[in-house]
Structure 1
């Protein structure tokens, strides 16, 4: 059906009254309010440090800031919903006051945390579990009427590494998106972004298989977020550390843009923004 083709892909989001135009891809900057996220330089648990990082990212071209207070890396320490909320809310409030025009995303799989964050000033919910780890998430998103990032993952952060088994990773992720999006649409959720979940219950070869066919996700007519920044699929293949994986990240972000990515979720905003600018210029000067 024509409505499901790339030609009718959704290009605008309504983030609590803040329009996001995806006709040109956008950069989402990662701010981790945790002491144990896998990339050490992304950890900004102190409010002043988070504000400084946000200021730098916005100046470098970030359109969205993604705030996370629960590390999803394998082996990370579990934290309660209360502790996650306590880490998030003061920073959201501070960012909303300092940068009132900024679009804030909250990276959480808990409905109660998501709702508290949106009430405090966040505009987007970024759920690594696609609603699988909290049965109240989809109804909460529908009630709040904010954009929702639907990511593919198996299991949870503690079990996902053991579940990276697929007959056909692309088909399984595609079918997952179809099923989960149908539920969201039925509940009245208007703005959904798809995230293939690179590194979540996926070996590096699964990530590259998904990246190779990422343009096929555009059949669903929804924006696509790519999050490969400094991940294992880069640093393991290159036999380096996450600290040295910026060049590889930029290469894969550029490939993702060529495959239809609408949002790049990154630790390093300036290189990603430059990739967007160059790829956009290339597209418009054929």
Structure 2
């Protein structure tokens, strides 16, 4: 199974891809990812490309579901326009992704040179989005989002069901599967409980998915361990974003703001790759590149006898050394 993000192919036979996150939104949950000027953005892009990023993902509005972060479409575009223009001028071949669920924003960003729309609502937040993507020929990342909580089902059943709905929307609009990558949506709950979508109050407490059997940190952990099932049932490459997210603090079992979650992020990224992830979305490209490389190497040995494992690793290391 292979799909493309712009000019970059993702999936079988391809290396695990790295997507570097750049936020133009001062309200973003991790302040270390925020860039306030175009010059800062360009310096960060240069560093990310040098460190191994295949794609850069620009966000003009935070979509963290536990905060009130909604800004107008015009403000979102005002943040994105100069950054996209500058990156496209200085890096004409770099794949640019835009993290937005608004069709108007997506259409303008694609016109300016973006290649990918990363829709955290899975094409469900704006009914015009699927047509914008289809007409442009762009790629799309669909994030697993239920419209309403489907209580009584396991997290993986609910996430796979939500992604199937998104894929049906994409298919009806004429977006071919070779232009789609799926994201299990670590950190995101149902749209009906998301203040960015509803304009209501953030959901507090442990039950952000509406089911007392699955506190949000358990939910997110289960998604990571089920990546291969998501991948095989949907037949599409899987992108995973766990960088600096709050479930890591619970698993660390100590207070840890986003600035203190780097090592936990790298651990979760390596495990995600071991579990089958085809791409990793990260705030820390240089560090994540090494974590991904280790996870990718160890994945060669999963369910294989020792001799075959050794041969696979020797081949991998030899190929790198002889490039």
1:182 maps to which residue?
Answer: 168
Query: Aligned Cα RMSD in Å?
Result: 1.8
Instruction: Say if 2:144 and 2:160, in contact at 8 Å, map to a contact too.
Output: no
2:44 pairs with 1:53: yes
2:148 pairs with 1:135: no
Shift, 1:281, TM fit: 3.5
Instruction: Say if 1:61 and 1:273, in contact at 8 Å, map to a contact too.
Output: yes
Shift, 1:276, TM fit: 2.5
2:229 pairs with 1:237: no
Aligned to 1:86, which of 59, 62, 78?
A: 78
Q: How far, CA to CA, are the matches of 1:75 and 1:277 in structure 2?
A: 33
Shift, 1:183, TM fit: 2.5
2:230 pairs with 1:217: yes
Q: What TM-score do you get using the length of structure 2 for normalisation?
A: 0.79
Q: CA offsets per residue over residues 131-178 of structure 1, 9 Å max, x none?
A: 2210101111111111110002356xxxx9xx6966311101101112
Instruction: Say if 1:60 and 1:273, in contact at 8 Å, map to a contact too.
Output: yes
Aligned to 1:99, which of 80, 86, 91?
A: 91
Instruction: Say if 2:274 and 2:296, in contact at 8 Å, map to a contact too.
Output: no
Unmatched runs of 5 consecutive residues or more in structure 2 = 190-208, 210-215, 301-311, 315-323
Instruction: Say if 1:89 and 1:120, in contact at 8 Å, map to a contact too.
Output: yes
Shift, 1:188, TM fit: 1.9
Q: Which has the larger radius of gyration?
A: 2
1:193 maps to which residue?
Answer: 181
Instruction: Say if 2:103 and 2:132, in contact at 8 Å, map to a contact too.
Output: yes
Instruction: Say if 2:134 and 2:175, in contact at 8 Å, map to a contact too.
Output: yes
Q: How far, CA to CA, are the matches of 2:106 and 2:95 in structure 1?
A: 15
Aligned to 1:122, which of 114, 120, 123?
A: 114
Shift, 1:278, TM fit: 2.6
Shift, 1:20, TM fit: 2.7
2:273 pairs with 1:273: no
Q: How far, CA to CA, are the matches of 2:181 and 2:290 in structure 1?
A: 22
1:4 maps to which residue?
Answer: none
2:124 pairs with 1:111: no
2:318 maps to which residue?
Answer: none
1:186–1:105: structure 2 CA closer, same or farther, 3 Å change rule?
same
1:48–1:237: structure 2 CA closer, same or farther, 3 Å change rule?
same
Q: How far, CA to CA, are the matches of 1:234 and 1:198 in structure 2?
A: 11
Q: Secondary structure of 2:281's partner?
A: strand
Instruction: Say if 1:154 and 1:200, in contact at 8 Å, map to a contact too.
Output: no
Shift, 1:236, TM fit: 2.9
Aligned residues: 269
Instruction: Say if 1:226 and 1:265, in contact at 8 Å, map to a contact too.
Output: yes
Kindly report which structure 2 residues correspond to 1:165-176, keeping only aligned pairs within 5 A, or say none. 167-176=153-162
1:179–1:227: structure 2 CA closer, same or farther, 3 Å change rule?
same
2:9 maps to which residue?
Answer: 20
Q: What TM-score do you get using the length of structure 1 for normalisation?
A: 0.89
Shift, 1:187, TM fit: 2.3
Q: CA offsets per residue over residues 201-240 of structure 1, 9 Å max, x none?
A: 2511100111111110112111101000010110233221
